[in-house]
A and B are shown apart, each in its own frame.
Chain A
Amino acid sequence: MSQSRDELHELRLKLSGENTSHQKEAVKQVVAYMTVGKDVSSLFTEVLKCMTTDDLEMKKLVYLYLMTYAKFKPDLSILVVNSFIQDAKDENPLVRALSIRTMGSIRVEEVTEYLCQPLRRCLKDDDPYVRKTAALCVAKLFEMDPELIESQGFIDDLLELITDSNSMVVSNALAALQEINSVASKPVFVIDKKNLSKILNAMGEANEWSQVFILDTLSTYTPRNEREAESLIERIIPRMSHKNAAVVLSSVRAILQFMSNIENKKVLETYYRKMAPSLVSLLTNPPEVQYVALKNINLVVQKYPTILKGSHKVFFCRYNDPTYVKMEKLEILIMLANEDNVEALLKEFKVYAQEVDVAFVRKAVRAIGLAAIKIPSATQRCIKHLLSLIKSQIHYVTQEVVVVVKDIFRKYPNKYESIIGTLCNSLTTLDDIESKSSMIWIIGQYADRIENSEELLESFLETFDEENPEVQLQLLTSTVKLFLHKPEDSQELLQDVLSTATQESENPDLRERAYIYWRMLSTDPDVAKEIILGEKPLIEGTNRKYHIDLLETLLFNIPSLSSVFHKPPENFVTNIKVFLREDEEIENDEEGILQVEEQREKEEEKQQEETTTTNQTIGSLIDFNSESKQQQNQNTQQQKSTHVVQSQDIRQNKNNNQDEYGMGLSQMNVDIPKKLILDAEKGEGLEIKGIFQRRENSIFYELSLTNKTQAPIGGFACVFNANSFGLKPNGWLLDGVLMPMQTRGSSLPCPIETSHIKHQNNQISNIVQIAIGKDSQVYYCQDEVPFHVLCTEDGKLGRSEFLKAWKDIPDEVESLKEITDLTESNSNIVKLKLENKNIFFVAKRKADELEIMYFSLKTEMAGFVLLELAIDPNSNSIQLATRTNNTDFVEMLELEIEKILKEY
């Protein structure tokens, strides 16, 4: 510990010294410390002084330091700004660019304002390198403060750069505009006839990354006619041979987009032919690139099934391919299967089915089945392979074969029945739902041809009550089929099943289906037979996994995450765009909510009651008698009001902590004044201040301990009594000894443990009773847990999730509270204050005078909580509506929100 203090001291001396080489060494060392998470923020002033250096390398390191720490030293950031502004005027273009770049990355609001002037100058700089850097900076700032950027006219400056004489500047300006488009409420830039040729020229000269941005921008352009589409494609085709896979993929996307404007089959055919080798070439890259490529190829092949004709061998799995690559390759192989290659593919599939990875093996078995369904001429061979796989006696292989055989029967009814015998012999090993129901289906369907079908079915029926609903439904249907085939052998069986299903089952689907069968059979068995055993529609082997609309969306989003996860982009994008665009819709949705809610059943209420029962049986860790408890209560309350700690003290304290113990960066944001929980008198010379805080997804009890005696104190321990939130300290209160008059800080992680939940006097309370031990003495005290520390970082709901959740909670459960006498009711400030405490903004709308805001938060014990704040700016008051499935904590939460909003 003291060693690190010495080091810091030495660094400080070197930094403020005159020797430049020592200075540089020191800066390097500081940066090295910073990267391993050591706190070197205390050297801020000294490092800042080094900014005036003439050494570019050192300057860069100083900038790097500033980028990391400026946030935590907003009071000093004005000093930083001045140096930046100086550097932005430097005669060296590299320094000008560096300063603009760094300023854009600092992300401290105070700095943003000062940045405008130098930024404007740099956008018009003589040096193209500075201009291009400034262009990117505009995009960065837009994300932080779109209004500022728009009002300052920076967008127009960017648009002007599109016509810049330097192609690098053009491509960077395009990249910036595209980035802004992706977060802005409405596009600030569209390609039109005028700028198209400029953009195409820039693409020819741009570096690989800019090419990606340009191609992606280009893809959004709609060609005016077929000829233009063709000429665009011709321009892009050469890019498909680029070494950078990202360029290739963006080219493919752009070409696919433009191809939809072309009707001429012959022309399209030539484009396919050119695209195929590029797609295939992507597979010569490292596995990570292959994975993305395969995901995208999958989409392209779904849309254009013949595009990779004859290339199937490329997708054969290698022994050292990672499983995620193998799975994707297999999927594509299935799509590529045809009459010509099926022989080779089956051979591969069979080898795959003998590998070790269970998921891959199952998929390989499926692949054989799909080939059988897709290519009738190969079915016989497929079945041969499947039979030999059953003989391997490996249970997951057998299970998969059963599922596959069922599908084959659904495609080719009454053919290939010879396989049934073998299947029936391997029944015992079925334990997953799908294969079980498949087997049961087969037994029912072929009940007349399987000799002992009633016996087989009976053995499944033994465990009817324990089965999954899906299996139960299948058992019901198959028993009915069996009865229709062999009424004399199975009447009893049917009776049993029908009565169990109608009388004992709690599953309405099962009940209802059983009733329907029952009625059909009792009304007219012949008609029933005709219906139940009638011909079924055949299943088709198709290449297309996704609906054409989804497929088009995915293809349009080719280089993005959508094309990897095969989900539409809404699933990932959680930025402002969605909210702003859909602001108006929310009002309409509101009416929808009401309608739906009126029709809702109130079953959930029951569930809520069940979930709130808590563990009452856990005994106290500390033996409090109720009297002393009350006493303590009063005591602490008194202390709270009288001993408000001066914030200056705390700052000192904090600096102490960091310098001496080199706390990591992540532990820096301890700036809330701690409360006195144990005074020196009661603690016999030990004074403790504490506060609950949340950071990095965990709850900490931040403590500072002062020894006011003349002797060292040691042997510290800290225990919490079971409390409403289940907080339980995990770790040492303080290591070692506290010297006389010394103050030391401690961060005690307090994870939530369900076994530690207990409501004192059966009432939910935010008071935690604490026992502090020192040198075998125990002191009792208590502290209040601010509710917001329980709000987790992942509490932000998407707009649609929020709406759904809101609808799911009945109106009656909603709790209302009026918060009045606010000093400030600006919605932005409300948002800021709440988001600071992990209460996340979801959406906003206006209703007459009121501003309605929606927030979500999540706690470990109560799940998601939904908030509606109706702000009346005239009276500075807020109507708060809270909806949650667990209403126990609502009152506490409401108080907390009032407190947060009234906080300065």
Chain B
Amino acid sequence: MIKSLFILNTGGDIVLEKHWQGRTGRNIISQFWNELTKGNRTKDLPPIIRIRRQTLIYIRKYNLLYLVVADQDTSPLMFIEFLNRVIEVFSNFFSTEPTETSVKENLPKAFELLGEMMDNVFPVTTESSMLRDMIGATMKSTPNTIENSKKFATLSSDQVGGLPWRRKNIKHSPNEIFFDVIESINATIERSGKCLNSEIISKINCECKLSGMPTLTMVFNNSSILEDVSFHQCINLDTWERRKILDFIPPDGQFELLTYRSNRMQTQIPLYTSGRFNWSKKKRRGKFEVILQLRNSLVKSIENVSVLIPLAQGCSSPSIKTTNGAVFFNDQTFELKWEIKKMPKNKEVSMKGSIKLPSKGSIPREKPVAIITFSIEGLCMSGLKVTNLNISKLKKKIFKGVKFISKSGNFTLKF
């Protein structure tokens, strides 16, 4: 069972602590920190560990570490998901990603939120849109008195009546709803340019500004693309199971409607990549070359392409030639970055050069990888299309739209 939550900064100092059952001594935090930093393997400690008969579950995000302490057998995944939700809610309420500074600036609010989000060991209200009504943010706009009890009565019934994610009496003008289909391509490319493996991890983000309680139905051209799919809780899972259409009353504001995974691609990976990298023992230099080319006839252009090569510690003195774009070398992180503002069509671009290894020490055994990022608007790799979007229970004129973006996820070139 969860006892306490600690938020730690990168130095292991406590930024916030919240206790649900008694107090957990700070002592365990220092023990955890020792464990975490032992042998300089900070990133290798599994997210669930046992220290002194207590279970510690932690996740990291934005340079903060969120840690819950539990003392009995418990469902770790539930708390990991809860922590992810805490981060999401904090981001929404602080209007910025939760960092040490923003958490400290918003401490009372953070406590209020945590108080509402978890009652004893039970996660309760974790939807930002519902929390907004419970927490001070909107209360400031209304008289801050308890006399206003009618409002609270509806607030409390919103919490328990009907939908956990949408309150009643929402009004918007104009009424609009937009969907962004964002497909991230994970791929591992061999030096020859051959694709070793690839998959698409996608999500549909939605921004909803609709009044009342609208029911939406969304129909896709090919529902089999959505075989590995995870839905937001607003989606009626039974309808999907039976009829393969989405039937939902959306939350208000921004939310992630669904995510899906597919390894069937309807169209070629838009960027051809190849290259080589060799450590020269004699010269103590790494010689490399990376070649990129646009190769999908559907794509007119790709902007903001970058290639990042994390190099061994101590590398220096790059000497590089490129056909297009610019190269930057960060001598703190030893990362080499090649940026191409605009990829030309029908033409190969390349970067060629070498980098110096430190004069002492062994030649690295493994070759680095190149991490490639890009983003293309209007392209849908999986071939998913929305054929019909119907909004009922709303008479007014509604603006609606669906936008497609394909971009790189974990897109790496193995030399």
Residues of A within 8 A of B (CB): 28, 31-32, 35, 37, 54-57, 60-61, 63-64, 68, 90-95, 97, 101, 104-105, 107, 127-130, 132-133, 136-137, 139-140, 143, 166, 168-169, 172, 175, 179, 182, 204, 206-209, 212-213, 216, 237-239, 241-246, 248-250, 277-278, 280-281, 284, 286-289, 291-293, 313-314, 316, 318-320, 322-324, 351, 354-357, 392, 394, 557, 559-562, 564-565, 569, 572-575, 665-666, 696-697, 793-794, 796
Contact = CB atoms under 8 A, between A and B. Distances in A.
B84 interface: yes
B241 A666 contact: no
Given A281-B259, A569-B73, 18 more contacts: A32-B107, A35-B111, A54-B144, A56-B146, A61-B111, A64-B111, A64-B112, A90-B146, A166-B161, A207-B164, A280-B261, A289-B80, A292-B48, A292-B77, A319-B369, A560-B74, A665-B23, A796-B53
B324 to A, nearest CB: 26
The 9 closest A-B pairs by CB, nearest first: A238-B237, A129-B156, A207-B164, A288-B47, A168-B160, A209-B123, A324-B46, A277-B228, A57-B136
B414 A322 contact: no
B259 A243 contact: yes
Contacts of A93: 152-153, 156
Contacts of A139: 120
A284 B259 contact: yes
Given A351-B414, A559-B78, A573 B44 contact: no
Contacts of A280: 228, 261
Contacts of B26: 37, 666, 696
Interface of B: 1, 14, 16-17, 19-23, 25-27, 41, 43-48, 50, 52-53, 55, 58-59, 71-78, 80-82, 84, 107-108, 111-112, 115, 119-126, 134-136, 139, 144-147, 149, 152-153, 155-157, 159-161, 164-165, 186, 188, 197, 199, 201, 227-233, 237-238, 240-241, 256, 258-261, 263, 365-366, 369, 371, 410, 412, 414
A472 to B, nearest CB: 31
Contact of A246 (B21, B78, B369): B78
A807 B160 CA distance: 55
Contacts of B76: 292, 559-561, 564
A243 B232 contact: yes
8 contacts: A68-B23, A92-B149, A94-B155, A95-B152, A242-B237, A243-B259, A245-B77, A277-B228
Contacts of A237: 241
Nearest to B130: A207
A249 B77 CA distance: 8
Given A93-B152, A208-B233, A292-B76, A696 B27 contact: yes
A104 B121 CA distance: 12
Nearest to A278: B228
B46 A242 contact: no
Given A207-B164, A239-B237, A175 B146 contact: no
A280 B229 CA distance: 10
Contacts of B139: 56-57
A218 to B, nearest CB: 14
B237 A169 contact: no
A745 to B, nearest CB: 20
A130 B82 CA distance: 23
A101 B233 contact: no
A172 B122 contact: yes
Nearest to B71: A574
A313 B263 contact: yes
Nearest to B241: A238
B53 A323 contact: no
Given A319-B412, A696-B25, A246 B75 contact: yes
Interface of A is mostly: helix
Nearest to B140: A57
Contact of A238 (B125, B153, B238): B238
Nearest to A175: B122
Given A93-B156, A179-B121, A356 B365 contact: yes
Given A32-B108, A56-B139, A92-B149, A561 B48 contact: yes
Nearest to A277: B228
B72 A31 contact: no
A292 B32 CA distance: 19
B75 A212 contact: yes
A204 B239 CA distance: 12
A560 B75 CA distance: 4
B63 to A, nearest CB: 15
A625 B220 CA distance: 94
Contacts of B17: 35
Contacts of A559: 75-78
Contacts of A212: 75, 78
Q: B120, B125, B144, B149: which has the most chain A beta carbons within 10 Å?
A: B120
A61 B164 CA distance: 25
Contacts of A204: 238
A243 B48 contact: no
Contacts of B186: 318
Given A61-B108, A166-B160, A168-B160, A323 B80 contact: no
A91 B147 CA distance: 9
Contacts of B20: 105
A64 B111 CA distance: 8
B74 A561 contact: yes
A130 to B, nearest CB: 7
A168 B229 contact: no
Contacts of B82: 209
A63 B19 CA distance: 13
B115 A64 contact: yes
Contact of A35 (B71, B107, B261, B365): B107
B152 A169 contact: no
A313 B365 CA distance: 25
Nearest to B365: A354
Contact of B231 (A32, A243, A288): A243
Given A129-B156, A277-B227, A284-B201, A562 B73 contact: yes
A78 B384 CA distance: 64
A129 B125 CA distance: 12
Contacts of B412: 318-319
A207 B259 CA distance: 19
B188 A316 contact: yes
B261 A284 contact: yes
A37 B366 CA distance: 47
B144 A136 contact: no
B120 A140 contact: yes
B55 A209 contact: no
B13 to A, nearest CB: 10
Contacts of B119: 101, 133, 136
Contacts of A28: 108
A109 to B, nearest CB: 12
B188 A207 contact: no
